[in-house]
Structure 1
């Protein structure tokens, strides 16, 4: 009598102790697993949490917001339709320390060798991941390698310079002036503009050195940009969402002309700002671009 209760109590204590030890071991394993998680896996996981289940431009429900906050370590409240923009800004802050080592690259690899003077520098693209929500990849540029001026329609883009120095020039459209802008103004008689010109404003025109990270948005931040490698360099790109012709996200390339190339009367540009504006014209000829694909041999990601 009473023995059963004593045994049961002891069993309960033993089970509680065993459970506590098991939980402790499990927690240690989880912590070790988290410590071992690669930077590129962490990047993928955060991208998946931010984009994987949601629709672009829609605020996720509170439960999903809490999940993303826990992943990103954020401590603020999202309360506007710009949730994704804010979350993306924090996305790269979480991996701002990434370097070429984290993706298995070295500056002395063949991708980064200077091209012979009679050849165009070859750009190498390393594909890491792509789904209908986001893509992750790396552009490897040798010295003087150029990615011509191109757009990102309806997309938010993070460009993380892993190593090296590059010159970046970017534009945003002048929003109150539509396509074929020159037709709305009075051109001088000396001007013979090509068709399809559109007015744009320079957003950035300067050199960047690793570990710089830049963010561009669908209508701000330099949605159209071009890169020129000053030294060998590697750029990790996250596109949200990726290019898709059926969905209207076609990659267009442009020529840029100084604003003064085609003098106009009535253009909404003050004299002191004319040097920071340019005319852009979509182009089809890409003879100055050579991009080849190569296997990504860095740490693998576990896709969901």
Structure 2
């Protein structure tokens, strides 16, 4: 009987200790979650964007698109960013030009870059232009923080357009190295506006920006450009669809939805001055 009683007492102690350990772990987990939420509430908007990018692009690689949940998460955080959150005002020198007859310089404020993603802000004076270019294998989140900007974007045509029996081969066009693209967007936008998302194969992966007024665009790219990895930026000329073979059958109203794009060298007069971001501090941890 004595042995049975001692065994029972021992098991009772073990159960009590187990319950105490479980309660301690639960309390620690609750405290950890509470502390994490408190840290997030105390984070600056820029810091929250950075932390979200780290999570969303943790597995970033060429042609990889984040999950719908991650896309919504980053879109929501980016949508909440205001110009004051990144220390910008329209009257800053980045947004003015001394000689209106010259093509204005564009300033890129470098915030952060790693193998998975990059963050930065393009500052455009009035009439500033970022020429038509691509984002090979990238998912791009952009937000116009302020100003009015004209955006024209395209997707490559990979299937036959409506009313066209076959895709025209390059050899059948007037210029052999042209490629057919569909116009995705061709309109003015006023900031601040909802973020736009360009996917590797759709959503307007090729685009150009023209500043109607001084404006700023916050860009997040995943993965970033990388020459050694074959993700260089390519620039393009655009030509009307009418520059194609006369044998193509398509209604006139449909023709305005398509253009021919041709690769070109980076425009000599396109100059981007790179500066380090000096807004509210963002800490990597």
Q: Distance in 2 between the 1:247 and 1:269 partners?
A: 39
* Partner residue in 2 for 1:131: 114
Q: Distance in 2 between the 1:89 and 1:27 partners?
A: 22
CA contact (8 A) 1:173 1:200 kept: yes
Please tell me the root mean square deviation across aligned C-alpha atoms, in Å: 3.0
Shift of 1:248: 2.2
- The DSSP-based 3-state class of the residue aligned with 1:152 is coil
Q: Distance in 2 between the 1:149 and 1:278 partners?
A: 13
Change (3 A) 1:269 1:183: farther
CA contact (8 A) 2:106 2:123 kept: yes
Change (3 A) 1:126 1:101: same
> Which among 149, 156, 159 is matched to residue 139 of structure 2?
156
CA contact (8 A) 1:179 1:196 kept: no
Give the 5 Å matches for 1:43-122.
43-53=49-59, 83-84=66-67, 86-122=69-105
- The DSSP-based 3-state class of the residue aligned with 1:153 is coil
- The DSSP-based 3-state class of the residue aligned with 1:246 is helix
* Partner residue in 2 for 1:189: none
Cα shift readout 1:1-51 (whole Å, capped 9, x = no counterpart): xxxxxxxxxxxxxxxxxxxx9999988765553322011111111111111
Cα shift readout 1:141-175 (whole Å, capped 9, x = no counterpart): 00010000000111110111111110000011111
Gaps of 5+ in 1: 1-20, 59-81, 186-192
* Partner residue in 2 for 1:204: 185
Shift of 1:302: 1.7
Higher mean C-alpha deviation, range 144-153 or range 246-255:
246-255
Q: Distance in 2 between the 1:266 and 1:97 partners?
A: 50
> Which among 203, 223, 228 is matched to residue 221 of structure 1?
203
Residues matched between the structures, number: 257
Shift of 1:272: 2.6
Tell me if 1:279 matches 2:257. Answer: no
* Partner residue in 1 for 2:130: 147
- The DSSP-based 3-state class of the residue aligned with 1:196 is coil
Show structure 1 runs of 4+ deviating over 4 A: 21-32, 53-58, 177-180
TM-score, normalised with respect to structure 2? 0.80
Gaps of 5+ in 2: 1-26, 161-165
CA contact (8 A) 1:115 1:142 kept: no
* Partner residue in 1 for 2:281: 300
Change (3 A) 1:289 1:57: closer
* Partner residue in 1 for 2:218: 236
Shift of 1:122: 0.7
- The DSSP-based 3-state class of the residue aligned with 2:237 is strand
